[in-house]
Amino acid sequence: MKGRFRLKRLLILAGALLVLFLIGFGIYNSFMQWIPAGNVGVLFHANGGLERRIYTPRRLFVPWMTTLYVYPTMERAAIYTNDPTEGEVKAADAVRVTTNDNANTDFDIVVWYHIDPQNVLTVFDNFRTQPIEQIQASTIRAAVRQGASLVGTHFDAFSLMGTARAQASEDLTAELRNILGPKGITVDRADFAGAYPNSAITQRIVAQVNAETDLNIAQIQQDIAREQKTIAITKAQAEAKAAGLKAQQTKGKSLELLNIETDILALQKWNGHLPPIQPRPGQSLFISGDVLKALQDEADNSPRGRGR
């Protein structure tokens, strides 16, 4: 009987200890928090202040009356846009920029930034207990508006929306680094994205685009005319050269035909008799007057001579 009672007491004690262990484990586990990959954390104790130690990604026990603050060491995007599907504020949140032509234009701006591990304590000293989301919504947004206002004065609205956008983005990045760098925030880059021009600026853009289009068309037409002129000159030179070659060939052929016609005419006049006087090559020939008279009489007595 006593053995059963003792066993029962042991079972009750073991059960109580197990319950206490589970309760204690649950309480302990409730104080465990994760530092995600790509982030670091610091602990702030209500009684002792900031613990000057940086915790890398892990599962960390956070004691009672202590807060874990997590900062991104990987690149993070802060998007300020009028698109309701983008950005942290689901409303019109684009940045208004005043350019040097006194035009006010809203621009979507995207800023990529991160916190270097060695700057985490600097960030906490500047912002205390503010989480990174609040820092992005307040301090970074204000810095973007300030930097965009400074950069906008270097460009006109049309160039800022077009050819000068890349340069303006580089200038904005430099301004944000100057503003946020001392506070421990590293700006990787910033970009002017989409623009929302008013009707007056839109009309200016359309007019300038049309003017540039007309200029390009005129340039193309001028190039075409220049090529056509070159082709015409080349063709005329080729035709002139061909005509000259043809004339040379025709001249040579005409002289040959004249010689043949002369030979034919001489054959038609020949009476079939060889000349009575046939000097040999290199031989001198002396004809007296009697001989010439005899030849003339013979020619007059011939049928052709009588028919004259």
152, containing H or E segment: helix 141-152
Q: Taking a C-beta distance cutoff of 8 angstroms, is the pair 176, 187 a contact?
A: yes
The SS3 assignment for 187 reads strand
The pair of three-digit structure tokens given for residue 143, joined into one six-digit string:
């810095």
* 86 CB neighbour count, 10 Å cutoff: 16
Q: Which domains does the chain have, with CATH numbers?
A: 8-72 (no CATH), 76-197 (3.30.479.30)
Closest CA to 195 of 154, 153, 165: 165
Helical H segments across 161-198, by residue range: 165-180
Res 3: pLDDT: 65
Q: How far apart (Å, rounded) are the C-alpha atoms in residues 132 and 76?
A: 10
Nearest to 144 by CA among 163, 162, 118, 168: 168
Q: What is the pLDDT of residue 57?
A: 92
Distance of CA 45 to the CA centre of its chain: 53
pTM for this prediction: 0.59
* DSSP sequence for 112-132: EEE--GGGHHHHHHHHTT--H
* Residues 51 and 44: beta-carbon distance below 8 Å: yes
Residue carrying structure tokens 């002017």: 192
Q: What angle do CA 123, 126, 137 make, to 5 degrees?
A: 75
Q: How far apart are CA 254 and CA 256, in angstroms?
A: 5
Low-confidence ranges of the chain (pLDDT < 50): 305-308
- Residue 217 CA to chain centroid, in angstroms? 22
- The answer to whether residues 148 and 107 touch, using CB atoms and an 8 Å cutoff, is yes
| pLDDT attached to residue 307 | 47
Structure confidence at residue 213 (pLDDT):
84
Please list, in sequence order, all residues whose beta carbon lies within 8 angstroms of the beta carbon of residue 208, skipping any fewer than 6 positions away. Answer: 158
**DSSP state, residue 185:** P
